[in-house]
Structure 1
Amino acid sequence: MLSALLVTGLAACATQATAPAVPGDTALGPVLVDAKRMTLYTFDRDNAMPGKSVCNGPCATNWPPLVANAGDMAKGDWTIITRDDGSKQWAYKGKPLYGWVKDTKPGETTGDGFLNGAWHVAKP
């Protein structure tokens, strides 16, 4: 029992110490992907308000934010922003990160260039 608790505690610490996304390969080259290996994206309109996401409501339904969990800590190029609803979201080099509901399997990049080129794959 004690060893199981110790292993669980060590796994939680290791999770908090790792980056929230990793590089993955796509037809567009290397991109950042989430834990499910799904492509992550950035939104040009977020640039108007650094450290803030302007993708809320229906936008966030289609472009789900990369959620930062309680206990996650910013480090290096990785920061955590607070969304309008109070939830936390990961950002890389100051750019909030999102998934795209129309990507259905790892390696897809169907959101790149969406909305007159405002959405882009997140590059490592």
Structure 2
Amino acid sequence: MKRSLILFSAAATLVFSSAAFAQTAPVKKMDGILVNSAGMTVYTFDKDVADSGKSTCNGPCAANWPPVAAGDAKLSPPYSVVTRDDGSKQVAYKGKPLYLFAADTKVGDRTGDKVKDVWHVVKD
């Protein structure tokens, strides 16, 4: 009985510690658009050049349009990672960096779509 309890305890520890290290994908598809892991709408910026490997939205721009952080995520095409001017990693879709909009406050908000005709919801 004691040996069974020890084996069960070891197996449970392995399962729970593996779950703790599991990563949440930084973006997913929901209702025909891309959203971040919290379900917030994701946008692209027309001034970013696809496959350039960088974002043109920095400083005050990034305060209004926070980058979708890539962290250490391992991404497969059509997703990739760009390195921002500050060295942080940002998720890109089809080579274009992805952003959130600070004015979106709840899941389903899309208030950033077509702002100044250069910000767009990512439709898939």
- The answer, yes or no, to whether TM exceeds 0.5 is yes
Q: What RMSD in Å do the two structures reach over aligned CA positions? A: 1.9
Query: Secondary structure in 2 aligned to 1:79?
Result: strand
Q: CA deviation at 1:9?
A: 2.0
Superposed structure 1 runs of 4+ greater than 3 Å apart = none
Identity of aligned residues (%): 50
Return the offset for 1:11.
Answer: 4.8
Match of 2:45 in 1: 43
- How big is the shift at 1:12? 2.4
Letter in 2 for 1:91: A
Give secondary structure in 1 for the equivalent of 2:49: helix
Equivalent-residue separation in structure 2 for 1:95 and 1:123 (angstroms): 13
In structure 2, the residue corresponding to 1:45 is in which secondary structure?
Answer: coil
1:61 paired residue among 48, 56, 63: 63
SS at match of 1:46: coil
Q: TM-score, normalised by structure 2?
A: 0.82
Distance 1:95 1:49, change over 3 A: closer
Given the alignment of the two structures, is residue 12 of structure 1 paired with residue 21 of structure 2, yes or no? yes
Shift of 1:74: 2.5
Shift of 1:49: 7.1
Q: Which amino acid aligns with 2:13?
A: A
Structure label with greater radius of gyration: 2
CA deviation after TM superposition for structure 1 residue 8, in Å: 2.6
Distance 1:49 1:21, change over 3 A: closer
1:22 equivalenced with 2:23 (yes/no): no
SS at match of 1:99: coil
Is the contact made by 1:24 and 1:107 (CA closer than 8 Å) also made in structure 2? no
Pair 1:99 & 2:97 matched:
no
Q: What is the SS of the residue equivalent to 2:15?
A: helix
Please report the TM-score for the alignment, with normalisation by the length of structure 1. 0.82
Q: Give, in angstroms, the shift of residue 19 of structure 1.
A: 4.0
Amino acid at match of 1:51: G
Measure the CA separation in 2 of the matches of 1:35 and 1:55.
21
The alignment status of 1:108 with 2:109, answered yes or no, reads yes
SS, match of residue 56 in structure 1: coil
Measure, in 1, the Cα distance between the counterparts of 2:19 and 2:38.
22
